[in-house]
Chains A and B, each alone.
Chain A
Amino acid sequence: MTTKGGHVVFLFPSVSHALKAEKILKEAGVTHKLIPVPRHISSDCGVCLRVEAPLRDEVVARLRGRVTWEGEAPLEGS
């Protein structure tokens, strides 16, 4: 599925963090998907959270102070 503007992935220090972030977004009703970390990105816990690029700021606001993440990366056309 291609979304205009592409996606952003959030990378986490561990799968526990990724699952906690998933829960926060689920409770907030923010559309997201837990996906395997794309090959060109280096993160070791195996999963990351993909959101549509326009939702990026909302996701940051939701997660800040509740769970730490290691970085973000744009994901074009996926």
Chain B
Amino acid sequence: MEKDTEGRVIYFDNAATTWPKPKETIRAMVAYAEEVGGSPGRSGHRRAVMAGRIIFEAREALAEIFGCDDPFRIVFAKNATEAINTAILGLLEPGDHVVVSSLEHNSVMRPLRHLEKRGLRLTVVPPGPDGVVEPDRIEDALGADTRLICLTHASNVTGQIQPAASVGEIARRRGVLFLLDAAQTAGAVPIDVREARVDLMAFSGHKSLFGPQGTGGLYIGEGVEERLRPLIYGGTGSRSEFEAQPDFLPDKYESGTPNTIGIAGLGAGVRFVLSEGIRRIREREEELTGRFLAGLAAIPGVRVHGPQDASSRTAVVSFTLEGVSPSEAAMTLEEEFGILCRPGLHCAPSAHRTIGTFPAGTVRFGFGYFNTDEEIDRGLEALRKIRRHNT
């Protein structure tokens, strides 16, 4: 097959982590490293205060983007996984019952399966044939001892956006806590924590919020902090006269020196999203995804696993090619066409079982705001050639 890399690489793995980052993200990190360098909240000198301000402003930007009135309800973590673990391990006790969708990522399933061995009870609810998790089926699964509902806001495999607000409404009405995994949607799909009635929401900083890796966090709804144990205990710079963990937000969940350089980048990334406008970003990603889906539909022997319509999904498209395994396809895409994507199970075996693509998985293209129409067309052309070559 003829090589078509043109010396340029096409990055279609934005669902794992976004690239490139806005210049603002990089600049904020360099500025912290060169000009600030202090540890926030650990002293009163100027560099400590500047560092404290960077973190404070990042928290404010996140609160703004999620429609949260109180920035202290946003606590930082090293990624969405740590935030999800804080929520799950901090709330649940043996004997509790949890309702979860079958489309969850292992960052949700593994801590739950771990607790299941210690007496947690789990009900896994599959989506309907359209890939949507029906709120009614979630409600039917609730019992007297159900403590928590966990739902991925959008699957990292199918891209299907789930009806978070309806599930939040049920959770509120039935007195059950609601954890939303917004790893794939934070920054890419408008989210309002009040409208969605979430009690806990985990997000990655390094995906569509355009921060660097090593950033993420958890939104903690009103009153939930009274019931939520921290995952990590230790020094916070506050109340050092006591050996007991502080009981106030955000310090209760933020022990140890934070990732200030990363949070500097995350704050700048979130401000980038706010200034571009999340709706505009969403529209652009819908356009790119729509263009790709329309092109794919015209290639014989390609099957899309997920909604055909760009408006009900994120910019993640999973597909399989007749006669070519996902891992082979990904290798050819990189070697022959310079296209970087992610094949396999995407840390979500349950989601792949649900859509019938376990264990080989799918090829996943994760588009981002910085991809171009031309890159989409080159991606389609590559798939056309791969298909032609294999028939």
Complex CA distance for A46 and B53, rounded to whole angstroms = 13
Asked if B44 and A44 sit within 8 Å, CB to CB, the answer is no
CB distance from B158 to the nearest CB of A (A): 38
Residues 41-76 (chain A) with a chain B CB within 8 angstroms = 42, 44-48, 68
B246 beta carbon closer than 8 Å to chain A: yes
Q: Contacts of B53 on A, CB cut-off 8 Å?
A: 19
Q: A20-B56, A36-B45, A46-B43 are in contact. Are A13 and B248 (CB under 8 A)?
A: yes
Complex CA distance for A71 and B45, rounded to whole angstroms = 21
Q: Mark A23-46, 1 if CB is under 8 A from B, else 0.
A: 000000000001111000010111
Asked if A16 and B240 sit within 8 Å, CB to CB, the answer is no
Complex CA distance for A42 and B241, rounded to whole angstroms = 9
Complex CA distance for A16 and B41, rounded to whole angstroms = 8
Asked if A19 and B52 sit within 8 Å, CB to CB, the answer is yes
Asked if A35 and B44 sit within 8 Å, CB to CB, the answer is yes
B78 beta carbon closer than 8 Å to chain A: no
Q: Contacts of B238 on A, CB cut-off 8 Å?
A: 13-15, 44-45
Q: A18-B52, A44-B239 are in contact. List 14 more A-B contacts (CB 8 A).
A: A14-B237, A15-B49, A15-B237, A16-B52, A16-B55, A19-B52, A19-B53, A37-B44, A42-B241, A46-B43, A46-B44, A46-B49, A46-B237, A48-B44
Please list the residues of chain A having a beta carbon within 8 angstroms of any beta carbon in chain B: 13-16, 18-20, 34-37, 42, 44-48, 68
**Selected A-B contacts with CB under 8 Å, 14 pairs:** A13-B248, A14-B41, A15-B49, A15-B52, A15-B238, A19-B52, A20-B72, A35-B44, A36-B43, A36-B44, A42-B241, A44-B237, A46-B41, A47-B52
